[in-house]
Chains A and B, each alone.
Chain A
Amino acid sequence: MDAALIPKGVKRCPLPQFLGALTVVSVVLLWGVYAMLLCWLKGLNQTNMNNAYGFALWIWADLAVIALGGGAFFTGLLRYIIGKDELKNIINFAVLLGFICYSSALLILGIDVGQPLRGWFIFWHANVHSMLTEVAFCLTCYFFVLCIEYVPLVLENRQIDRVPFFHNLSHNMHEIMAVFAATGAFLSFFHQGSLGGVSGVLFARPFGFREHILIWPYTFFLFTWSAAACGPCFTILITKITEAISRKKLVKDNVIRLLAKIAGWMLLTYIFVKTIDTIYWAFVTAPSKGFVLNFFYTDNAFYGYWILFLEIVLCGWVPAFLLVVKKTRENNKLLWIAVFLGALGAMVNRWVMVLQVLAIPVLPFENWALYIPSWQEVATTILPVAYGIILVMISFRYMPIFPQEQELNPIEPPTPEVEPAAAADAEETPADEDPAAPEGDLQPAQA
């Protein structure tokens, strides 16, 4: 029924099967929307946030998706500015994931502010002494960049591309995409950094506080670095999941391995600096404020040294080595593990820098403040995941997201039980879906 909308030369599941899967995910989405409406209509009393947790699950999710969406800006930087041409075969999907992550971040913030109608206050009455102002500015601008990068994909839909104006618009946007990508990279460096800077400047909370370079604490640079390292891991992970679900190879191994290698070196250098930063913080910064390392990981029901091990070793050093070493990088199972751990590492780091910071007592008479989110917070955090899955499903079905898919999955001409002469004719006049169909120009997917 929707065959006319599906890109040429690729095969998709039947429409009823697609709609069935879409319905299942939509149920989860509606659950999240219901919780979101509760938060908007009844207020933030629907959450378990309190005086200790002004930042809670939502802000963790916000920072996590922004870090994971970093694959878009970093892949764009590598592709358009540094000139890694092979990455053109995965940049569309990286942009899609970035678009999903950043729109999710804005959605979560829209719920978190409690009164989204006043969301424009941060622009109009900007507190330029807050790092979050820079985050708001850059986040919004970078979302515009991602929209601009995503629009050409939509315009390349088989039917939309037939309209000359849209075809030309898509063509022109591709021509100057380097300008948008450079702007996006500039914006991303700053808002990723400022998100890290928020905890780094908290001198009253020694767990998050770090030393500075000028006005920027070390966390500023570490957050940008980790996003550039873990974002591509997330892009590879979701690509692999999409390949597993669609049961197709969508991107050639050399492209995945190149991105994995770059991510591996970024991760290795990041975790090396992060380890030095942690040691310096543990033995110099925290003691100078009157704390010992043991204080941050004992005498509570949840946070122990295990989370430090998980963040630095298991989700840092291990995936870094797996991705840097050629033999392990080229092993499919180990690549799966490495990119999963890499993406998990960014999420654990954001959890530590948002929630563990707030859990630790800062006054002698205080206790650890542990927090369990309400179901409304959980549902609204799962909401963007469902939204992301739906957008990936729709984009994969109707847009040329993976330029190599056609080449990697040639559609075999049907072998009808017809006479040899008729079969010979059919070979000479390929079907509409034949990848070799002479078009006179390139398919959008091949661009």
Chain B
Amino acid sequence: MSANQDGVDLLEVRGLTKTFGTLTACDHIDLNVAKGEIHALLGENGAGKSTLVKMLFGTLEPNSGEVFWNGQAVTISNPGFAKKLGIGMVFQHFSLFEALTAAENIALSLDDGSPISTIAAKARALSYSYGLPLDPQSLVGDLSVGERQRIEIIRCLLQTPQLIILDEPTSVLTPQEADKLFETLERLRSEGKSILYISHRLEEVKRICDRATVLRHGKVVGHCNPRKETAASLARMMVGNDVQAVVRAPVQGIETAQPLLEIRALSRRPATPFSIPLRNINLTVRAGEVIGIAGVAGNGQGEFFESVSGEVPQQDPASVRIRGKDAGGLSITGRRLMGAAFVPEERLGHGAAPRMKLSENLLLSRHATDGKVFVGAGGMVKSDATYAAAQRIIKAMDVRKSALDPEAAALSGGNLQKFIVGRELDRRPSVMVVNQPTWGVDAGAAAHIRQTLIELARSGSAVLVISQDLDELFEISDAIAVMHNGELSKPLPIAEATFEKIGMLMGGAEPGHAEHALETS
């Protein structure tokens, strides 16, 4: 079924294998991409998708296996050779240079030596012809994530590739921007180009892809036509078993519940020239509810989390209030002592110290709040107590690990995230603030984390979740606010929220205008 008219696939991969130490990231992968098709590479985080495409683009060297290009065996030893063959790549974590202009960034990946002004003119013309307008003179550091992706795509198209690899392209886009991208991809397909589309989002794969190859734990577990599958059947192939659906009981009388976390006129100047200022943010999270904050990455969510958690204290003590008391001037520990708990976005480095054991990481975050439990006479650490508490959390959150009390860095991303969330939940915090709770976490563990956050709220705590994953926010939130360019919209009750409305706000529709649009819609 994979052959096209002349019987030769554009790309054929046979038994490609890559190991890192004892981990087999890709295990005898077979893959065929025909001319003029959009081929999905589907799999959870850590299934080996990124490793596979890095080998196809020449940035990683396979241990074994063969690659055929138009039927010819090739060894792709570096990205330059991949480009020469006609393979273009749009990276998940962009490979752009912030301090350079868009045109300079594009020039760096073209080896034809033509002057920057020529390249800028070509890039501008191409970008308009594909409906992805681009100003070649703008500095990448000033651009939004969506605009940066345009540069990557235009840069890729200027090399006139036969095969374009896109690694999780929509994870940084608003729904409207994603629609625009799909139009571009369909146009490229109609021009006879092939696209290898990497994603874990089932709906979009069903929508635009002709065929799919599903990976799980580094192995190919199936090929299918995604249009003939359901989201549930695709998920089952990806995960290996059924994913528990998250249950969100309705919440009643929230208007009268006690406000536990209040943010009043929070502003912050940009810390670096490329960072986002916070502008007059107001938000109330009451006992019993989960509030979600949506937004395209890089619109001030990181700065907002730092300000709420106390990583960066505020000038005005009243700008952050926890359980009715001013907390704006306090440090993280001060805010924890008032009953708040925080889970930052970066697991290694912020959420946990990589080279320390789980029990030690537990002590690091809780020595102040639970000093009596974990620290004994003369400041001596009660290792029995920290060990027991760590084991309790490991059991409660079903953390899978290789040793009894391993180093944080030895855990997979998802398991470490479960431990970090569990460490905070274990205190029964009355205010819980989480940034990207399930980023890079497999579907089963993500569902578990989401369910525990809802249950914490329903037991009388206030939960604030910042996430780029709209599906996740719609699953767990009672109301969703949108952050755009350092401003926060009013929370929209979940019953009124739709992808379209949230997407409009994410794209920067004026809050007033958007509210008006909501009233009329």
Q: Do A and B bind each other?
A: no
Binding site for A on B (CB under 8 A): none
